[in-house]
Amino acid sequence: MDLLEKFDENGNKVSPELPKTVINYLIDIDGTICEDIPNEQPERMLTAREFEGVREKINKFYDDGHVVTFFTSRTEAHRTNTEIWLREHRFKYHGIWFGKPRGGNYIIIDDKLISAETKIKVD
Ligand SMILES: [Mg+2]
């Protein structure tokens, strides 16, 4: 994905940004795209029940040119099972970010704009 160069008011280079039309989707896995599997039961990650309509929605984000990154409390130890499941269920994505803090109650503080939803809206 091409990032746009940005400069501050003094002409100093700052962190690049995506074009305004491109969205960085950070999407949880357990309880969001499939049934919630705890890290303590990794064998269930291979057979997790996929939530209806979610794959089509996420694959459309991808096909429309947005960035799809799964953001999960699963750890690197769960990468193989997670990638197998995502491939078998035909999810399109750019990356997986493991190690999200567990337990919910998130407040994200960032200088970039953020909007948050607890579910993927399925038509
Ligand atoms: Mg979850």
- Please give, one letter per residue, the 3-state secondary structure of 14-66: EEEECCCCCCEEEECCECCCECCCCCCCHHHHHCCCECCCHHHHHHHHHHCCC
2 CA distance to ligand 1 middle (Å): 29
Report pLDDT digits (tens) over 2-42.
Answer: 899 999 999 999 999 999 999 999 999 999 999 999 999 99
State yes or no: pLDDT of 1 exceeds 90.
Answer: no
60 CA distance to ligand 1 middle (Å): 21
The whole-model pTM stands at: 0.92
- Number of residues that make up the chain: 123
State yes or no: pLDDT of 96 exceeds 80.
Answer: yes
31 CA distance to ligand 1 middle (Å): 5
State yes or no: pLDDT of 117 exceeds 80.
Answer: yes
36 CA distance to ligand 1 middle (Å): 6
Report pLDDT digits (tens) over 45-64.
Answer: 999 999 999 999 999 999 99
How far apart, in whole angstroms, are the C-alpha atoms of residue 91 and residue 86?
5
Q: What percent of the chain has pLDDT over 70?
A: 100
Q: How far is CA 68 from CA 10, 13, 88, 113, in A?
A: 33, 26, 17, 17
Query: What are the residues facing 97 on neighbouring strands?
Result: 71
Rg over CA atoms, the chain: 16
Provide the CATH number for the domain formed by 27-97 in this structure: 3.40.50.1000
63 CA distance to ligand 1 middle (Å): 24
Alpha carbon of residue 46 to chain centroid: 19
